[in-house]
Chain A
């Protein structure tokens, strides 16, 4: 059963059109990666799914419900969480407060979840009062993911989680992604670091110029010479 179904979505900012009819889907517990050059519309696709961009045509359905163009707050409450590529933490709030904001819509006692998330990112646990703006790039990225996990999402969308990180941090992030997936959370990644991401993905899509150009299992895309030439740097 598909968790997320994006069907023939046409979307853009203002009058411009960035996505020219894109369809993807993510199944329960899958890791799906979208690769493609800058400007191919990968980020716009994630934003359209979440309702930050209104599709001009096409539909998005999540957990069987049509959520096309719904307000982000409502979609997030249904278990679809998102980590933007940049500006993804609240700089003037502490780590603890960032996580509290992630849990804003929860009405239950979420201290258990808080400790679970801190266990996943021990580096954050040691400095709960540090302001978001004082963290290093890697720590900020971890905080951004941790914030999104506070709502116990069923599907987590990450926009270039490894961008700008040192190689050992990149490994760490992907390790965490696998651990998160092991708890049953589906993941939709947009990645420049295509090699690492596809290695761990059940499914992959390649995009170019606002369209989907390839769709296959993760390992198959990795072995595809076309993909290697265009997206993986040979």
Chain B
């Protein structure tokens, strides 16, 4: 560990400031200065951001580059879900709209793991076809990021070729909202989204701390050379990392399509800024930090619509990103590199 300027660590820094600001927002919401409904909506949006951001953080920690195609992984996941729910399943006789209080039917529960598996396969194929070749030539992380940018454009183009440029929707039924205290009305779909995200995050935690491959992922993230020297097959670790990242991103895409009740080709690309902002906010390479960062971004974006035109929501993420990079680039939970 290199000591920078040998000054003693400050007790309170910018990271704490950001957390404090967030808590202030929560307090203001409880005292009705800000609409609680916006905060609650923001938390659910934040959970979707979290799924994408956690995968992005894992990929960065192990592969050491910014995966710019991550948003389009979400888009592709959403559209694969659309294909299953709107096309394949009905053809196989699997139709059901709206079970329980949800707008979607049982088929969505089947679609999600299928979408995840498909994206995992695609991600690994892309690694073998593109990233691994670049890695063997020891290119810089910038080149890898540029390659992912190219793939992002290609994936988006693929979606547009197959499904056109318009807006779509999953088969759905209109269902009533829950009426909660403090004037909060949320669709029951949100509760499903929140529950699923919590289950996935818990699952990831158990995976990283209790399984051999999960620990190998953490080890490789710490020090890839040492991992190889210990006998760990880092190529396999890399594939599993792609799989986990892709599954989380694809699921986030499907959930986003449910959350906003629509899909369109640039939905993931538009989300990318929020994903990166969450990762930086939480500390690069720290997936749990990314979760917290994502919740904060979600709430801030939603609450801001009180005063700013909703079209500018992505700009909020952008501002937070710039602010963090200027003030505390290692994120709230990151350690000084």
Residues of A within 8 A of B (CB): 50, 52, 71-73, 76-77, 81-82, 84, 87-93, 97, 100-102, 104-105, 147-148, 151
Contact = CB atoms under 8 A, between A and B. Distances in A.
Contacts of A82: 229
B228 A101 contact: no
A102 B228 contact: no
Interface stretch (B104-112, B213-221, B260-268, B298-306): B213-221
A90 B225 contact: no
Contacts of B222: 90-93
Given A93-B215, A93-B219, A101 B225 contact: no
A90 B226 contact: yes
B215 A97 contact: yes
A113 to B, nearest CB: 14
Contacts of B233: 73
A76 B233 CA distance: 11
B231 A76 contact: yes
A82 to B, nearest CB: 5
A44 to B, nearest CB: 14
Nearest to A87: B223
Nearest to B1: A133
A76 B230 CA distance: 7
Given A76-B231, A97-B215, A104-B230, 14 more contacts: A50-B229, A52-B225, A52-B229, A73-B233, A77-B231, A81-B229, A89-B226, A90-B219, A92-B222, A93-B218, A93-B219, A101-B227, A102-B231, A104-B232
A4 to B, nearest CB: 16
Contacts, number: 63
A100 B232 CA distance: 11
B212 interface: yes
- 4 closest Cβ pairs, A-B complex: A76-B231, A105-B231, A90-B222, A72-B228
12 contacts: A50-B229, A52-B229, A73-B233, A87-B223, A87-B226, A90-B222, A90-B223, A93-B218, A97-B215, A101-B230, A101-B232, A104-B231
Nearest to B221: A92
Contacts of A84: 225-226, 229
Interface range, B side? 10 to 19
Interface string B190-214: 0000000000000000000000100
B118 interface: no
B140 to A, nearest CB: 13
A50 B229 CA distance: 8
A226 B45 CA distance: 72
B169 interface: no
A110 to B, nearest CB: 12
Contacts of A105: 231-232
A42 to B, nearest CB: 17
Given A90-B218, A100-B215, A72 B226 contact: no
Point out which of A50, A88, A101, A105 has the most chain B C-beta atoms below 10 A from its C-beta.
A101
A102 B229 CA distance: 9
A131 to B, nearest CB: 11
Contacts of A100: 212, 215
Contacts of A93: 215, 218-219, 222
A91 B226 CA distance: 11
Contacts of B226: 84, 87-90
A233 B250 CA distance: 63
B229 A101 contact: no
Interface string B225-262: 11111111110000000000000000000000000000
A88 B225 CA distance: 9
Given A87-B223, A91-B222, A52 B228 contact: yes
A114 to B, nearest CB: 14
A203 B49 CA distance: 60
A93 B218 CA distance: 8
Contacts of B219: 90, 93, 97, 101
A158 to B, nearest CB: 12
B234 to A, nearest CB: 7
A92 B226 CA distance: 13
Contacts of A88: 226
A104 B227 CA distance: 10
B223 A104 contact: no
Point out which of B226, B232, B234 has the most chain A C-beta atoms below 10 A from its C-beta.
B226
A209 to B, nearest CB: 25
A84 B216 CA distance: 19
A88 B228 CA distance: 12
